[in-house]
Chain A
Amino acid sequence: MVSQANTLPETEPQTPSIRTRGLTKIYRTGEVEVRALNGVDLTLYQSELVVLLGASGSGKSTLLNILGGLDRPTHGKVFFGDAELTAFNESALTRFRRDNVGFVFQFYNLIPSLTARENVALVTEIAPAPMAPAEALEMVGLGERLDHFPAQLSGGEQQRVAIARAIAKQPRILLCDEPTGALDSASGVIVLEAIQRVNQELGTTTALITHNAVIADMADRVIIFADGKIHETRVNKDKRRVSEMTW
């Protein structure tokens, strides 16, 4: 059964951060047509942490890419506040990413030639209202490793640098695509704690893709994707602390 419960519990104030209407994405490879998204209506609210679950190819990454202004839908619209993202041109999208969106990837994609601090500074230098790189790294528990190069950091530490890099600009939206996918459980927990902390302390709207159902317990809301559609939406009454999780 498909539920479109796009609302949070009545007790919380609900300001939409980003919303989609009839979002459809069709990929054509040769003569094959793949419907990655099929008419998705979704609203993400300010300060909420949403976990997107679903099998491979269910459309969650495609959705994240479109929300982050990396890809365009075939049909449908995306609104960021009052602005229609889908009407933006290339440079406006770049601007949107630069000012409002933080990305965390499965592979950390740090710049090997820059230290942790400099990797963060890379973003703070071009953002309108950033926090200090050291502060961002402090938030993810790397205050001691500011001047280490990526090659000198563990996978979990690299991912936390990536998170610091994503949040240092104080983005309105944080998009994380399988942030723990390449990490062992212990490192994964530390990374998720960092994400949770950012979400709570900065009030950043956070969308997190994962294959790991356990992680869904940290979300305000869990959205389950199947065949390019929202299959189910579940509001978490009892959010768990990440530190309580294991997998």
Chain B
Amino acid sequence: MNPLDKKLFRDLWRLRGQVIAIALIVASGVGVLIMSLSSLEALEETANAYYERYRFAQVFAEVKRAPRSLEKKIAELPGVQAVDTRIAQFAVVDIAGFGEPVIAQLVSIPERGQPNLNQLVLRSGRWVTPGRVDEVILGEPFAEAHGFKPGDKFQAVLKGNKRTLTIVGTALSPEFVYSIGPGALMPDDLRFGIFWMGRDALAAAYDLEDSFNGVAVSLLRGVEPKGVIERLDNLLEDYGGVGAYARKDQISNWFLMNELEQLRSMSTIMPTIFLAVAGFLTNMVLARLIAIERTEIGLLKAFGYSNLAVGWHYAKMVMAMTGLGIVIGWGVGYGLGQWSTHIYADQFRFPFLLFRPGPTSFSIAAIVSMAAALIGAAGAVRSSVALSPAESMRPPAPPVFHKGGLMDSALAVLLDQPSRMILRQIIRWPLRAFLTASGIALSVAVLISSLQWLDSIDHMADTHFFQAQHQDIMVGLVEAEQESVVREFANLPGVLSVESQRIVTANFRSGTRLHRGSLNGIEPDARLQPIYDNAGRVVAVPPGGLVLSTKLAEKLAVGPGDTVLVEVLEGRRPTLELPVVSLFGTFIGMPAYIDKSAMNRLLLEPRRVEFLDLLVDEREQAELFAELKELPSIAAVMLRRAAVDEFYETLAKTLLVYISFFVAFSCTLAFGVVYNTARIALSERGRELATLRVLGFSRWEISYILLGEVGLTVLFGLPLGCLAGLGLAWLMTTAFESELYRIPMIIEPSTYGVGVLIALLAAVVSGFIVRERLDKLDLISVLKTRE
């Protein structure tokens, strides 16, 4: 090993504290990027593989009732590869010991073997036996939530008849990755489950022998779903078709894709910020670190080393520090990526997981970090090698300070000399102080923008579940019924108030823009679930025309006064030309509202309702649940309380895990910056501080001078960080918009406080570590030699 390399190793060992601090900064940036990208990559790959292996269909349609003979015609449609028809129904289930009614989505499977499409992954037990009408395979999440095993029995109301069903197995399906009840926002595995039963059994229960009410289609390679959907709609129109839809609108897939979309925003924006911040910090810290090596650089040149050799020596030093960080970041990122993928996979219920991160994210992270570090060091090395050896071996001339300005003010007279030293140091090198303050500011900003998610989500939940909704229970009916049903529900035990809604599936068109969604007809004086604008006001329901969520208006590129073509996909399937009357902001979904009576008129139907909002007296809730369990007409029961719990629980499992990583990484950044700043300041000013010790200053007094400067810089950085945090938060919430969610930008004062406090804590910890070194200053060396 040549002497320079030996020097390199010894220098790295001597500077180990800083080496580690720099490596940690680099590792934070690299780690976040790898974690995010690798888990995103893994989830996408897993979802695709799952869909392919278990033949997830590409087009879906529901009908009232169609003969099985139609199957052949569907199969013959151009572009269709395979067809699978089935019977699907919602039913209320009575689970012993569980008070609330449970909604089951019953889906038929062939008695002998897998369906053509949307195949099941049998997780335990066995397939249903031909001829047995009471056997059921349960969705695994539901079975697990209730602790069901094959062999267990429970009761269900199937078309008004109470039946005892036997669980023979548990399964997963690509169709129910996100197993979500009608109208729900988050999976609720206790109250909603998928039940697969033999086709004959379901056909008998629902009088659908030789018929089907659901069809799934896969397409030949390269065929777009649009044409097939049109032909399928034509074919199914006479059988009560509700409009075929592509995989992208299939509910589970839509939720999954939205989640992945959010994850994608998160895994590009957050790591980019982190990597940029880490790059900036590495750059800043290394530049100062090399600047103190000036004497050694002069010495090496005096020995006859060329500028190139000296430059390469320091480049290797920088690469070693950064390289260590990259390797740590790779390791941490890989580990956390795998872990977070498991968390997501757990939520999405994938039967298997493909975690095979490609080289891309690893390379990007390494290249960006290395480049930032080398560029940072290059400037300092260049200016050091530019000096003649004799000059660089001499101590730098005392820097020139000037009087005047701030330091001459009346206020300055009050300062003691150590405080003057601190202030002059900062005023003399404002750029350096500013860069350090920016470093602190960036870590505070990243902290705040990570923590703000909690505030935003709280605000979102509060607005959606508490300000906009006041019902305790929302009941969905199997099909639209006469408005008299409202009175029946009002008479149920504990029901204090009932309001009804009619919701129809519809295509919204404006020019070439299309959105498949639902049109909600609500009562003009609705109080339980009015149209609520997220700015905090209830929007009046106009007698005619639409009230659109801003997100939907944006998608359709319409505003108040424009007309939207609404193709209703149910009943008589009228196409309506409706004016947009007003817009309102929502955080969740992209709903469209209309006056319910106007809607019934337009649908050419008598007054019908499909959803009921109930306000319930809690004391009589149990009795109400018992009654609901007996009602055959119910397809959904949504408890607001449970929805809030699920919302938080689901987010806690995913988003919050990420946020806690981000917070941890931000702390590392803050610590890395402050520690390095203080440590470098110590190297730069060791002699000065030792002189003061010789003059009789105590350790605390010189700590004040060194850490005072760092502390003051930190204090400058904090408000800057709060401001930058606001900017970052805005950037992220804007980028985070999806059809499912708009995250409001809310930063509570306490969040600024927590961010600032964490940064201060990191500063204090690094201050203490540096102070330890201050105690070991070599006082005698001051008397003799220049460093």
Q: A97-B695, A99-B696, A151-B397 are in contact. Are A115 and B780 (CB under 8 A)?
A: no
Closest CB of chain A to B697's CB: distance in Å?
Answer: 7
Q: Closest A-chain residue to B698, C-beta based?
A: A94
Q: Closest A-chain residue to B687, C-beta based?
A: A109
Contact B696 A61 (CB under 8 A): no
A101 at interface by CB-CB < 8 Å:
yes
Task: Write out, one digit per residue, whether chain A residues 52-63 have a CB within 8 A of any chain B CB (1) or not (0).
Answer: 000000000100
Task: Write out, one digit per residue, whether chain A residues 83-100 have a CB within 8 A of any chain B CB (1) or not (0).
Answer: 000000001001101110
Contact stretch, chosen from A8-16, A117-125, A197-205, A237-245: A117-125
Expressed in whole angstroms, the Cα–Cα distance for A221 and B728 within the complex equals: 72
Contact A147 B403 (CB under 8 A): yes
B693 at interface by CB-CB < 8 Å:
yes
Closest CB of chain A to B540's CB: distance in Å?
Answer: 68
B731 at interface by CB-CB < 8 Å:
no
Q: Closest A-chain residue to B690, C-beta based?
A: A109
Contact for B400 among A107, A126, A152, CB less than 8 A: A152
Closest CB of chain A to B421's CB: distance in Å?
Answer: 5
Contact A91 B698 (CB under 8 A): yes
Q: Closest A-chain residue to B397, C-beta based?
A: A151
A177 at interface by CB-CB < 8 Å:
yes
A234 at interface by CB-CB < 8 Å:
no
A71 at interface by CB-CB < 8 Å:
yes
Q: Closest B-chain residue to A165, C-beta based?
A: B695
Contact A101 B696 (CB under 8 A): yes
Q: Closest A-chain residue to B786, C-beta based?
A: A107
Expressed in whole angstroms, the Cα–Cα distance for A153 and B429 within the complex equals: 21
Q: A113-B428, A150-B398 are in contact. Are A118 and B420 (CB under 8 A)?
A: yes
From B398, B417, B420, name the one whose CB has the most chain A CB atoms within 10 angstroms. B417
Q: A94-B693, A113-B425, A151-B398 are in contact. Are A106 and B403 (CB under 8 A)?
A: no
Q: A105-B782, A107-B786 are in contact. Are A98 and B691 (CB under 8 A)?
A: no
Q: A61-B783, A105-B783 are in contact. Are A125 and B400 (CB under 8 A)?
A: no
Expressed in whole angstroms, the Cα–Cα distance for A115 and B417 within the complex equals: 10
Q: A113-B425, A113-B428, A149-B402 are in contact. Are A65 and B696 (CB under 8 A)?
A: no
Contact A94 B399 (CB under 8 A): no
Task: Write out, one digit per residue, whether chain A residues 64-77 have a CB within 8 A of any chain B CB (1) or not (0).
Answer: 11001011000000
Interface residues of B in 45-97 (CB under 8 A from A): none
Closest CB of chain A to B447's CB: distance in Å?
Answer: 32
Task: Write out, one digit per residue, whether chain A residues 106-143 have a CB within 8 A of any chain B CB (1) or not (0).
Answer: 11011111110011011101110000000000000000
Q: Closest B-chain residue to A90, C-beta based?
A: B699
From B418, B695, B779, name the one whose CB has the most chain A CB atoms within 10 angstroms. B695
- Total contacting residues, chain B, CB less than 8 A: 33
Contact B696 A98 (CB under 8 A): yes
Contact A113 B693 (CB under 8 A): no
Closest CB of chain B to A116's CB: distance in Å?
Answer: 12
Residues of B within 8 A of A91 (CB): 698
Residues of B within 8 A of A118 (CB): 417, 420
Residues of B within 8 A of A112 (CB): 398-399, 401, 688
Q: Which residues of A pack against B, CB within 8 Å?
A: 61, 64-65, 68, 70-71, 91, 94-95, 97-99, 101, 103, 105-107, 109-115, 118-119, 121-123, 125-127, 147, 149-152, 165, 169, 177
B424 at interface by CB-CB < 8 Å:
yes
Task: Write out, one digit per residue, whether chain B residues 764-784 have a CB within 8 A of any chain A CB (1) or not (0).
Answer: 000000000000000110111
25 contacts between A and B (CB under 8 A): A68-B694, A94-B697, A94-B698, A98-B696, A109-B691, A109-B694, A111-B421, A111-B691, A113-B399, A113-B401, A113-B421, A114-B401, A114-B421, A114-B424, A115-B403, A118-B417, A122-B417, A122-B692, A122-B695, A147-B403, A149-B403, A150-B398, A151-B398, A151-B400, A169-B696
Q: A61-B783, A70-B779, A151-B401 are in contact. Are A113 and B420 (CB under 8 A)?
A: yes
Residues of A within 8 A of B780 (CB): 65, 70-71
Q: Please give 13 more A-B residue pairs, beta carbons under 8 A apart, in addition to A105-B782, A105-B783, A109-B687.
A: A68-B694, A70-B780, A71-B779, A98-B698, A109-B694, A112-B688, A113-B428, A114-B424, A121-B417, A122-B417, A125-B417, A126-B701, A169-B696
Contact A177 B783 (CB under 8 A): yes
Residues of B within 8 A of A94 (CB): 693, 696-699
Expressed in whole angstroms, the Cα–Cα distance for A169 and B695 within the complex equals: 10
Contact for A106 among B417, B688, B694, B784, CB less than 8 A: B784
Q: A111-B688, A114-B421, A149-B401 are in contact. Are A65 and B783 (CB under 8 A)?
A: yes
Closest CB of chain B to A156's CB: distance in Å?
Answer: 15
Residues of A within 8 A of B416 (CB): 125
Residues of B within 8 A of A149 (CB): 398, 400-403
Residues of B within 8 A of A99 (CB): 696
Residues of A within 8 A of B399 (CB): 112-113, 151
Contact for A110 among B397, B398, B424, CB less than 8 A: B398
Q: A113-B421, A123-B695 are in contact. Are A103 and B398 (CB under 8 A)?
A: no
Interface residues of B in 372-427 (CB under 8 A from A): 397-403, 416-418, 420-421, 424-425
Expressed in whole angstroms, the Cα–Cα distance for A50 and B768 within the complex equals: 43
Contact A114 B417 (CB under 8 A): yes
Residues of B within 8 A of A98 (CB): 695-698
Expressed in whole angstroms, the Cα–Cα distance for A54 and B692 within the complex equals: 28
Residues of A within 8 A of B783 (CB): 61, 64-65, 70, 103, 105-106, 177
Closest CB of chain B to A122's CB: distance in Å?
Answer: 4
Q: Closest A-chain residue to B401, C-beta based?
A: A149
Contact B420 A114 (CB under 8 A): yes
Expressed in whole angstroms, the Cα–Cα distance for A169 and B421 within the complex equals: 20
Residues of A within 8 A of B693 (CB): 94
| 9 interchain residue pairs of minimum CB distance | A98-B696, A113-B424, A112-B398, A97-B696, A122-B417, A109-B691, A151-B400, A151-B398, A149-B401
Expressed in whole angstroms, the Cα–Cα distance for A101 and B693 within the complex equals: 12
Expressed in whole angstroms, the Cα–Cα distance for A64 and B397 within the complex equals: 28
Q: Closest A-chain residue to B428, C-beta based?
A: A113
Closest CB of chain A to B404's CB: distance in Å?
Answer: 11
Q: A97-B696, A113-B425, A115-B403 are in contact. Are A177 and B420 (CB under 8 A)?
A: no
Closest CB of chain A to B271's CB: distance in Å?
Answer: 41
Q: Closest B-chain residue to A113, C-beta based?
A: B424
Residues of A within 8 A of B402 (CB): 149
Contact B694 A70 (CB under 8 A): yes
Residues of A within 8 A of B691 (CB): 105, 109, 111
Residues of A within 8 A of B786 (CB): 107
Contact A177 B696 (CB under 8 A): no
Expressed in whole angstroms, the Cα–Cα distance for A220 and B642 within the complex equals: 95
Closest CB of chain B to A101's CB: distance in Å?
Answer: 7
Q: Closest A-chain residue to B705, C-beta based?
A: A111
From A70, A112, A118, A149, name the one whose CB has the most chain B CB atoms within 10 angstroms. A112
Q: A70-B780, A113-B420 are in contact. Are A103 and B694 (CB under 8 A)?
A: yes
Q: Closest B-chain residue to A101, C-beta based?
A: B696
From A68, A94, A106, name the one whose CB has the most chain B CB atoms within 10 angstroms. A94
Residues of A within 8 A of B695 (CB): 97-98, 103, 122-123, 165
Q: Closest A-chain residue to B775, C-beta based?
A: A90
Expressed in whole angstroms, the Cα–Cα distance for A114 and B402 within the complex equals: 9
Closest CB of chain A to B699's CB: distance in Å?
Answer: 8
Residues of A within 8 A of B403 (CB): 115, 147, 149
Residues of A within 8 A of B782 (CB): 105, 109
Expressed in whole angstroms, the Cα–Cα distance for A169 and B417 within the complex equals: 15
Contact for B694 among A97, A111, A151, A169, CB less than 8 A: A97
Expressed in whole angstroms, the Cα–Cα distance for A70 and B401 within the complex equals: 30
Closest CB of chain A to B280's CB: distance in Å?
Answer: 27
Expressed in whole angstroms, the Cα–Cα distance for A125 and B424 within the complex equals: 18
Expressed in whole angstroms, the Cα–Cα distance for A147 and B397 within the complex equals: 19
Residues of B within 8 A of A109 (CB): 687-688, 691, 694, 782
Closest CB of chain A to B712's CB: distance in Å?
Answer: 14
Q: Closest B-chain residue to A107, C-beta based?
A: B786
Q: Closest B-chain residue to A123, C-beta based?
A: B695
